[in-house]
Amino acid sequence: MNVQSKVERWGLFELKLRGPSEGNPCEEVCLSAGFTSGSRYGEAVGFYDGDGTYRIRFMPQEEGTWTYRTQSSAPELDGLTGQFVCAGPSGENRGPVRTRGEAHFAYADGTRFIPVGTVCSQWHLQDGERRAATLEALRASGFNKVQMSVLPLSGELLGEQPEGVPEPFGRHPDGRLDVRLLQPEYFRMLEERINELTACGIEAELVLLHPGALGAEDMSTKDEERYVRHCIARFGACAGVWWSAVEEPEGFAGRTPGDWNRLLRLIAELDCGGHLRSVRSRPGASDFGSPWATHISLDTPDVKAASDYTRAYGKPVLIDSAGSEGNLDRPEASLTPEEMVSRLWEGAARGGFVSCGEAYEEADGGRIWRTHGGKPQGKSAARAAFLRRMLEELPDGMRYNSDRYDAATLEVRGECYLQYFGPHRFAFRGFELPEGRYTVDLIDTWQMTVEPLPGEYEGRFRIDLPVKENLALRIRRLPGALSGPAEEERDGTTESIQA
């Protein structure tokens, strides 16, 4: 038995064990462990990692001394005991991301997390050169979440899988896929890619099932649960992981929202890290109110729906399929960059979080960012980074105000307001704010400029605007300022970020 003696809070504790290798251990050997520290108790399932090696991984949530005991159907793996010390977190270790309240996210240590995501569903299956280019592009971007499919996908524009990339499942002698035989080398490869994203400070949202994924249509309920169980056991102690149980559930014939609730419940029961869980679907195709779903993941171009779903279900809303800037022959993959940016801002100003998609077909083989990674070719990625900066500069607790019907507005009443105008070219805007003095910034969401307007404002006032699309106003109360004459005018310089 190989075991650690010390691990950080929210770190990965691992037991490495030797056991039976004959037959199909993934199917025939059950393994888990119970962990105790004072009144705290947790469980973690184990998994087979090939060549007679078994692993149990656990994420301790509290500091102190933890003891453990294994349970297994294999006698040599059963009843093993020991202990380890959980120390305080170090460096950038803030724990997994969790929901906070009805509309927000935060790391386990309480640090606010504002998801500005993108989709690179198959980047982990590309050749080394393209994977390196993807990581370099992500490090230089403002993205802090990437959605990716655990299993290889098939279909238009996916192309052939590079040589040397293993398959997730074994094969029958006649070449047919055998979904009972999970291939450890494939999942080890995926683990390496997840760790690379974590090193870049990027969360990995793992889509477990997709109707176009290899083996998805061949799985029985038992096969499906075995596969999900393996993913949870292997990745559930990694801090930077989110679970998307299924994408496009409407593509699975004969399935109901109850089937996906069953999977979400299984994930919740097995995941020692307590990671975020969702089903990404079109409106009406899944049970958004499920207690097993931590947040709502929408597939819709209607980003204005974010505020409606938060209000209806009391959960944060992500829209990972609002469309993509691109040049493909499908409406959802041929948005102009201006429209993509407008959807990012409109969704954000309605209290949601919209992923920035890109689907420009490259000349050398037809690969696209949304599927294969590489390097973004469009103009919206830089503006997504600007949006993230603008959101991070807002105070915590900003909420959508449904009373302002003509312009999407986030606010902390009496403290800060962000109002986005989208395609409307208002000549002016009128405001009546609570007692205090305020400063106003004019934001050009396309040019990525922040222009402080001269003077200070209080009570009822009017802001004249240039006749342009996609502008926003940020209004902030001066600290400690009471009603009264403005003391001095602000410097009217313009703050800008270059694309």
Q: Helices (H) and strands (E) in the chain — how many of each? A: 9, 32
Query: Is residue 1 scored above 80 in pLDDT?
Result: no
Give the 3-state secondary structure of residue 239.
coil
In the chain the domains, ranked by start, together with CATH numbers, are: 2-87 (2.60.40.10), 97-392 (3.20.20.80), 399-496 (2.60.40)
Number of CB atoms found within 10 A of residue 380's CB: 27
What rounded mean pLDDT belongs to the chain? 92
CA distance 171 to 178: 5
Q: Identify which of 474, 480, 478 has the alpha carbon closest to the alpha carbon of residue 495.
A: 474
pTM, full prediction: 0.92
The pair of three-digit structure tokens given for residue 150, joined into one six-digit string: 């655990």
Give the 3-state secondary structure of residue 194.
helix
Task: Name the DSSP class of 490.
Answer: P
Distances (CA, A) of 453 to 226, 420, 423, 441, 491: 59, 16, 22, 6, 8
Mutual angle of helices 128-140 and 184-199, in 10-degree steps: 30
Residue 390 — φ and ψ, nearest 5°?
A: -60, -40
Q: How many residues does the chain have?
A: 499
Distances (CA, A) of 1 to 16, 56, 116, 330: 6, 11, 42, 54
HSE-up (13 A, CA, CB side) for residue 173: 0
Per-residue pLDDT at 159: 57
CA distance 430 to 331: 37
Amino acid at 246: V
pLDDT in tens, 469-483: 999 999 999 997 554
Give the 3-state secondary structure of residue 54.
strand
pLDDT in tens, 96-131: 999 999 999 999 999 999 999 999 999 999 999 999
pLDDT in tens, 11-67: 999 999 999 999 999 999 999 999 999 999 999 999 999 999 999 999 999 999 999
pLDDT in tens, 422-453: 999 999 999 999 999 999 999 999 999 999 99
Q: Which residues contact 182 (CB under 8 A, 6 or more apart)?
A: 26, 48, 168, 169, 170, 226, 227, 230
CA distance 284 to 286: 6
